[in-house]
Amino acid sequence: MTPEEVLKLAKENGVKIVDFKFSDLPGTWQHFSVPVHVLSEDLFSEGLPFDGSSVRGFQTINESDMLVIPDAETAFLDPFTNVPTLSLTCDIAHPGAAGSQKPYSRDPRYIARKAEEYLRSTGIADTAFFGPEAEFYIFDNVRYASGDNIQYAEVDSDEAHWNSKGRDDARNLGHLMNVKGGYFPVAPSDTYQDLRSEMVLNLEALGISVEAHHHEVGAAGQCEIDYKFGTLLNTADKLLLFKYVIKNTARKYGKSVTFMPKPIYGDNGSGMHTHQSLWKGGKPLFYEEGGYANLSQLARYYIGGVLTHAPSILAIAASSTNSYKRLVPGFEAPVNLVFSQGNRSAAIRIPRTESPKATRVEFRPPDPTANPYLLFSALLMAGLDGIRNEIDPSQYGYGPVDKDLYSMTKAELSEISSVPGSLDESLKALENDHAFLLEGGVFTSDVLEKYVDLKREQADQVRLRPAPIEFSMYYDA
């Protein structure tokens, strides 16, 4: 859409409020709203001022004046507001004359734009496609607290096996799934068919083309909705809109959605397997008939770059302390830094296909806490570094490994590199290995330094607090 078309859309639909959304550095949507009379064509070039010092990862209080510059192509009518509201996703800039404002280095959308520009400048490819699969849990009740004398978290789901005896005096009809038994059950065990379908219809109404939806392995309400891949920036925009739609559709029915990687002990965590491929002139570059998994040499170099830099990428791909409660060796987690065809126990899976257009690389360690703009950009930069330096994964011990890695002995696994075991380890890896991200000015040092500081503060907050399990282990020591 053009700015003129956005104004027409607002008028034709009786819009009264315009909402401006943007991503903070960790990757969460922020917003503020104005009456519709503020919206004008000039606003799309002049922007609107806001206080950048109150946004995570942005400005200090003495340099707080910032601008949001709305992107007309992202306009949509918000289906969750009672007052007719038009929503726009924004870029962030320093104040300046219209059209000449300096983009803000820590704006995640700006980093994604630069990544796409850098790809084109290399001549290797002109388009990078990404397809994330963000899993989530639907809960019926959530309680948590962290204070001086109390640490606890409690979640509940009508589907959960622990409710087999019923709650209070409520009836129980059974049909509950066993732990890790939630993959593809039909109703009445799967109680979320209609809710997911409404989520799908809401997504499609907002321009997100859905490919499938289903219950996931986690038996206490884990689900997945897959949408069609797209270009880097566009797909990152859609992922934040995806989260917004999923959470608010669930809330409409008194339910709560979390994209937290590991909300339940003993059952599956929620990942965000990320598919990616490079194209040039409308032609796929990852396919070569007869090669291993029909991969081209360029695709192998791309894989080599991602696996070589995987420890530092994990600081962005698995960006929470909770992420590493999912990425635990020995528990069917994608922690092994090898590639393999059709093998879900490897960090990189090559989906089986005979189609050149469908040939792609799937990186499995990420989870939905990742900032998609930063994640997709980092993966692209790592892959390009592998291509530029001709890093063939087989020459560096990254496979292919076409066997069940989960059934390998400790001795066998000792020969295979693994992802970092904590957020701290990943942050250290990022500090020691980030030159590939700085190529072409895509990431800048101030972004990485601020990002590491933010994440280290989060890790410190967790490290300082006793966990409930520690009381059962050590109270009587």
8 A C-beta contact, residue 303 and residue 297:
no
Q: Is 326 annotated as a binding residue?
A: yes
Alpha carbons within 13 A on the beta-carbon side of 170:
10
- The verdict on whether 215 is a catalytic residue reads no
Catalytic residue of the set 135, 158, 190, 267: 135
- The verdict on whether 133 is a catalytic residue reads yes
Catalytic residue of the set 133, 190, 237, 267: 133
Q: Is 275 annotated as a binding residue?
A: yes
- The verdict on whether 457 is a catalytic residue reads no
- The verdict on whether 449 is a catalytic residue reads no
- The verdict on whether 434 is a catalytic residue reads no
Catalytic residue of the set 360, 364, 367, 434: 364
Catalytic residue of the set 273, 300, 309, 349: 273
- The verdict on whether 37 is a catalytic residue reads no
Cβ atoms < 10 Å from Cβ of 119: 24
209: its two tokens: 């083309």
Q: Is 344 annotated as a binding residue?
A: yes
Q: Is 133 annotated as a binding residue?
A: yes
Catalytic residue of the set 41, 51, 392, 431: 51
Q: Is 332 annotated as a binding residue?
A: yes
Select from 251, 252, 237 the least CA-distant residue to 206: 237
**Kind of pairing between the strands at 76-77 and 127-139:** unpaired
Query: Could you tell me which residues come within 8 angstroms of residue 370 by beta carbon, excluding any fewer than 6 positions away?
Result: 27, 272, 316, 317, 318, 319
Q: Is 360 annotated as a binding residue?
A: no
Q: Is 276 annotated as a binding residue?
A: yes
Select from 416, 182, 457, 427 the least CA-distant residue to 314: 427
Nearest-Å Rg of the Cα atoms of the chain is: 23
* DSSP-based three-state secondary structure for 344: coil
Q: Is 196 annotated as a binding residue?
A: no
Q: Is 11 annotated as a binding residue?
A: no
Q: Is 251 annotated as a binding residue?
A: no
- The verdict on whether 135 is a catalytic residue reads yes
- The verdict on whether 12 is a catalytic residue reads no
Integer Cα distance of 155 and 397 in angstroms: 42
Query: Could you tell me which residues come within 8 angstroms of residue 139 by beta carbon, excluding any fewer than 6 positions away?
Result: 155, 156, 157, 220, 221, 255, 256, 257, 258, 263
Catalytic residue of the set 31, 344, 388, 456: 344
Q: Is 230 annotated as a binding residue?
A: no
Q: Is 227 annotated as a binding residue?
A: yes
Q: Is 229 annotated as a binding residue?
A: yes
- The verdict on whether 224 is a catalytic residue reads yes
Q: Is 216 annotated as a binding residue?
A: yes
Catalytic amino acids?
A: 51, 133, 135, 216, 224, 273, 344, 362, 364
Residues at the binding site for L-glutamate are: 268-269, 326, 332, 344, 364
Which residues participate in the annotated binding site? 133, 135, 211, 216, 224, 227-229, 268-269, 273, 275-277, 326, 332, 344, 357, 362, 364
List the binding residues for ATP.
Answer: 211, 227-229, 275-277, 344, 357
Residues flagged as binding site for Mg(2+): 133, 135, 216, 224, 273, 362
